[in-house]
Structure 1
Amino acid sequence: MGVQQETAGTGAAMLRRRILPTELGPCTVHIQEGTGGPHAVSGTADVYLHGAAGSWTSFRELLHPAAAHDRVLIDLPGWGESTQGARVAHLSIEAMARAVAGTLTSLGYRRWNLVGHSMGGFLALHIAAAWPGRTASVTAISATTFGVSEAAGKPLRSLFRFPTFLGMLLAMRAAAALGPSGSALVRAIGSTAVMRPLLSPFFAEPASISAGVLRGLGEDARPAGFSAAARAAAHYDFGQWRGILCPVLAIRGDTDVFTPPSDLLRLAEVIRRVQVVTLPRCGHFANIERPEHVQRLLEDLLYP
C-alpha cells in the first residue's frame, strides 16, 4: 500500500495517506501522528468518522493543535477518496463498522476514541456497542439517530418533523437513480451560488459560512451512499446500544434540523455513561460552525 505525505488545513498538520482493503471496497485514511510518539507505544487512536454528506475534510478545523494520540481520518467506502471500487449496494451499519474496525486493526491500533459527525456519530455508537473492549470513548456530533431512522423508515409519518431530511433524501435518491450523471449534477450545483440557500437550513448563521466550505460540501455529496445509509438506518436495532460501556459525549446545535433534543434524551435512556451538550447559535455542522467549542469539549473528554 502506498503512503504519501500531504498538508491538511491551513497549518502545518502533516498527514500520511493510506489505502486499505475492506469488504465494502478500498478505504482511504489520513493519519496525523500524535505528539506522544508512534502509535505502537499506546496502540490508541482518535478516529474521525464523517457524515453521509461529507468526507474526512469535514474535520479540518479540528486538526490543530496536534493531539497526544494519532488522529485517523477515514473516508468510508463510497465517500470522499474511497469511491473507486466501492460496493455501495452492500452497505449497512454493520458492514461499515467492520470496515472501520478492520482498517484500524490493520494499522496497528488496539483501542480508539471515536469522533463521529451525523451518520458518523451513529456509526461510532454502533462500533462502541460491537467492540466495547476496544472503544475508549465516543463523541457524537449531531448524530442522526432515532428521529432520522424513523423518518427514513416511515417518511409520510415524519414529514412535518423532518422536512429537510426527507427533501434531501428524495433529491439524493433521484440523483442516485441517474447514476454517474446524477452525481455529476449534484457536484455541478455545489459549485454555484444556489448552494448557499440550499444548505442554509443546516447552519445557524449561513451567511458566515465561506463559499469554499459550501463548495466542499457539494463536492462531498454522494447520492448513492446517502441513499444506502438512510436505508441502513431505517432498520437499525437501537437496543444494541445498551451494551456501550465507554463514556459518550453527545453534541447538537440548538438549530439542528437533523438531531432534535428528543434524540439526546433517548440516548440518555439507552446509554449509561452519556453527557449531552447543546451548543448555542449552531446548526448541524458544529465541527464547522463552532470548531473551537467542539475542540474544548473533545480535550476535556479525551485528555482530562
Structure 2
Amino acid sequence: MDVTYEGTARELETDSGTLRYHEAGAGEPLILLHGSGIGVSGWKNFRGNLGFFAKHYHCYILEFPGFGISDPVPGVHPVFAAGAAVLRFMDALGIESAAMVGNSMGGVVGVNLAINAPDRVSRLVAIGGVGPNIFTTNPSEGSRLLQEFADEPSRDRLVRWLKCMTFDHSLVTEELIEDRWRAASDPASHASLAAMYGSKAFEAQRAMMSKIAPYWANMHKVRCPTLLTWGIEDRQSPPDMMLVPMRLIPEAEVHVFPRCGHWVMIEAKEAFESVTLDFLQRTAR
C-alpha cells in the first residue's frame, strides 16, 4: 500500500474553495482531523499513523481551510470553518457517517459535529484538547507560547513551543524545527494561528464566550461512543481538561498515556494505535 505524501494526496473542489486531503485504505470510513499550532497540517499530525489505520479502514486525512494547504474561508473562525469543511467533504464524497479521530482542535471539531450533526459521527476519538481547564490556568502554558509566537514570530519561540508539546525533547529535531518554521512562514497558516491565539483574537474570543454557552456545556448531547486519550505530561491541554467531557459524554472512555505530552499519536504511537483500533472495532455499530 502506498502511504507516501504523493501517493495519497487528493484535491476536492467545493463551493467554498478547494479542500485537500490524503486517502488510503479500504472499508469503513475513518476521518482524521488535525490540530492547530505552528506550521501544522493533517499530514504532519497523522502521516505516521496512516499506514496502520489504512490496513483496517478507508482513511481520509482532511486539511482544514486556512492552514496553508486547503483554501481559506475568509472571515470565519478556523474552528467553525473546519467543522463546516468536514460536512462539505463528507457530502461531496457521499460519506453519510464516519468514525473520526481528532487531535486537539480536531477533537473539538469532532465533538461539535457529534453535538450538532450526530448522525454524521459514528465513533469519536479525541486526542487532548476537549473540555475546559478546571485546576490549571487558562490559557495553558502551550497556548501562552502560541500567543507569543502569533504576536511576534521567531525561531526561538517556535522551539520553546515544540518542546512544550513533547515529553521527550529528542523528538524536537532540527528537521522538525526547519519544517515547522518554513510552514509557519506561509501567510494563510500564520493568519489562522493569529485568529486563534493572537492577543487581540484571544480577548475577542473571551468577550464572545462570556455571552454564549461554551460548546462543552452541550457534551451531554454526544450520542456516539467516545474515547478521550491524553498524555499525562500534556502542557498544551493539561489532563484536568478531560474531567468534564468524561463526566458529561454518556458513552465516554478515557485512556491516559504515561511519559507523553500533547502529541499522543506521535509520542505514544504504537500504544495509541492499539488502544484506538480496539476501541473502534469494539464499539462498531
Give the TM-score range, shorter chain.
Answer: 0.7 to 0.9
Residue 91 of structure 1, CA deviation: 2.1
State the distance in 1 between where 2:130 and 2:117 align: 20
Farther off after superposition, 163-172 or 46-55: 163-172
Q: Name whichever of 258-267 and 139-148 sits farther off.
A: 139-148
The partner residue of 1:47 within 7, 27, 31 is 31
- What do the CA deviations read for 1:261-299 (whole angstroms, capped 9, x no partner)? 221111112211111111111111111211111111121
| Distance 1:227-1:88 versus aligned 2 partners, 3 A rule | farther
- Identity percentage over the alignment? 21
CA distance in structure 1 between the partners assigned to 2:120 and 2:61 by the alignment:
18
Distance in 2 (CA, whole Å) between partners of 1:144 and 1:213 is: 26
TM-score, structure 1 normalization = 0.76
Match of 1:251, SS? strand
**1:264-283 equivalent positions in 2, closer than 5 A:** 264-283=242-261
**2:119 aligned counterpart, secondary structure:** coil
Q: How many pairs align?
A: 262
Q: In structure 2, do the counterparts of structure 1 residues 273 and 134 end up closer, same or farther at CA, with 3 Å as the change threshold?
A: same
Question: Which blocks of at least 5 consecutive residues in structure 2 are unaligned?
Answer: none
Q: Is the 8 A contact 1:22 1:103 kept in 2?
A: no
Alignment of 1:284-299 (within 5 A): 284-299=262-277
Shift of 1:48: 0.7
Q: Any idea what SS the aligned residue of 2:75 has?
A: helix
| Partners of 2:58 and 2:222 in 1: CA distance | 23
Instruction: Find the aligned partners of 2:178 and 2:125 in 1 and give their Cα distance.
Output: 26
The SS at the match of 1:303 is: helix
Aligned residue for 2:66? 78
Which residue is 1:225 aligned to? 192
Structure-1 separation of matches of 2:73 and 2:193: 13
Q: Residue 22 and residue 280 in structure 1: after superposition, are their counterparts in 2 closer, same or farther (change >3 A)?
A: farther
Are residues 1:100 and 2:96 paired? no
Q: Matches of 1:259 and 1:122 in 2, distance apart?
A: 12
- The worse-fitting range, judged by mean Cα deviation, of 283-292 and 90-99 is 90-99
Aligned partners of 1:15, 1:27: CA distance in 2, in Å? Answer: 14
RMSD of aligned alpha carbons: 2.8
Structure in which a larger fraction of residues adopt helix? 2
> What are the superposed Cα offsets for residues 162-197 of structure 1, whole Å, 9 maximum, x if unpaired?
23312322321x25xxxxxxxxx66xx3xxx87544
Residues 109, 219 of structure 1: alpha-carbon distance in 2 compared, 3 angstrom cutoff: farther
Most deviating of 139-148 and 260-269? 139-148
Q: Deviations over 1:20-77 (max 9, x none)?
A: 3254x4221111132x4xxxxxxx4100111112211210111123233210111101
Instruction: Report matched runs for 1:135-214 at 5 Å.
Output: 135-147=121-133, 158=138, 162-172=140-150, 174-175=151-152, 189=155, 195-214=158-177
TM-score scaled by length of structure 2: 0.81
* Structure 1 gap segments, 5+ residues each: 1-5, 37-43, 152-156, 176-184
State whether structure 2 residue 39 is matched by structure 1 residue 61. Answer: no
| Match of residue 33 from structure 1 | 25
Structure-2 change in CA distance of 1:280 and 1:103 (3 Å): same
- Residue in structure 1 matching 2:4, options 5, 8, 15: 8
- Partners of 2:272 and 2:67 lie apart in 1 by 24
